Amino acid sequence: MAATRKTAKARRSTRAADLAEPASRGHVLVVEDEHDLQDLLRYNLEREGFRVTVAGRGEEALQLAATEAPDLVLLDLMLPGIDGLEVCRTLRNDGSTSTMPIVMLTAKGEEADIVTGLELGADDYITKPFSPRVLVARLKAVMRRRGETPSRSEDASIRVGELVVDPQRHEVRVSGEPISLTLTEFRIVQTLARRRGRVFTRNQIVEAVQGDRVAVTDRSVDVHVVSLRRKLGSAGRYIQTVRGVGYRLEET
């Protein structure tokens, strides 16, 4: 009899768990002034389990970012009042919001704005028109990368697929085989691998690899990347060109 009561109780608990609302994937602040697009974004994000707050102006976005502390800001660049680039700059310069993930929404032709936004510290960008499924996947990827807490030091080896970057040995291996790289090539692949999935502009790569013995310009970055891909062989495909912007490294 007691066993029967326990079984019934377990079944009720299971049914209650099945009916419970799924845990939120996170809180997204959508900054967009077009109402139709606001509704589209809210619908698709909430359907995926995100909690959504919407702002239609840059000033409102800054206030909500400070008070609501969202897990990610999806930021349109063309806004009334304070534009998206200024919102991005302000968020990055404020200690309370400086690490908040930011993904830009932009029209296809705004390559200069994309580059500027990334150099201001945006984590990624999505062009209009966009696929809702791709948008959700990109936001999840950014939040996942930002949520990673490295348990090892900056000198620890970095593995991406068959590629291993070992800062201590100053060595790169592909499928266990060491690859001979120049100092500049090593620094480029190390920079990209440390923040895999993140888009780096050419200027950001220059700043990351520049040193006393290294002379590299934004124009020469492309040349170094071509050489790097060739030397990495099958792993060269991990270095992806982001047209008009720069590069990212991601397992394909």
- pLDDT tens digits along 29-50: 999 999 999 999 999 999 999 9
Residues 131 and 208 in one domain: no
pTM value is 0.67
In a domain, 230, yes or no: yes
Residues 143 and 162 in one domain: no
CB 236 within 8 A of CB 229: yes
In a domain, 190, yes or no: yes
Question: Which residues are within 8 A (CB) of 178 and not within 5 positions of it... i.e. 6 or more apart?
Answer: 171, 172
Q: What is the pLDDT of residues 137-147, one digit of tens each?
A: 989 888 887 76
In a domain, 6, yes or no: no
Q: Residue 166 is part of which domain span?
A: 158-249
What CA–CA distance (Å, rounded) separates 39 from 47?
A: 12
In a domain, 201, yes or no: yes
Residue with tokens 């397992």: 251
CB 243 within 8 A of CB 127: no
DSSP string across 23-72? PP-EEEEEE---HHHHHHHHHHHHHTTEEEEEESSHHHHHHHHHHH--SE
Res. 249 pLDDT band, cuts 50 70 90: very high
In a domain, 3, yes or no: no
In a domain, 72, yes or no: yes
Residues 162 and 207 in one domain: yes
Res. 9 pLDDT band, cuts 50 70 90: very low
Domain CATH for 235: 1.10.10.10
